[in-house]
A and B are shown apart, each in its own frame.
Chain A
Amino acid sequence: MADQVLDAKGLNCPLPIIKTKKQLKELPVGNTLEVIATDPGSVADFAAFCRTTGNEMVEQSQEGGVFRFVIRRAA
Chain B
Amino acid sequence: MTALTDDTLPVTPRAMRDEMIVFVVMALLLVAVPFSGIYPFFVMQALCFALLACAFNLLIGYGGLLSFGHAMFMGTAGYCSAHALKVWALPPELGILVGIVAAFGLSLITGFISIRRQGIYFSMITLALSQLLYFIYLQAPFTHGEDGIQGIPQGHMFGVLDLSKPTVLYYVVLVGFLAGFLLIYRIINSPFGEVLKSIRENEPRAISLGYRTDQYKFLAFVLSGTLAGFAGALKVFVAQNASLTDVHWTMSGEVVLMTLVGGLGTIFGPVVGAFAIIAMQQYLAGFGQWVTVIQGSIFVICVLTFRRGVVGEVAHYFRRSL
Question: Are A and B physically bound partners?
Answer: no
Residues of chain B having any CB pair with chain A under 8 Å: none
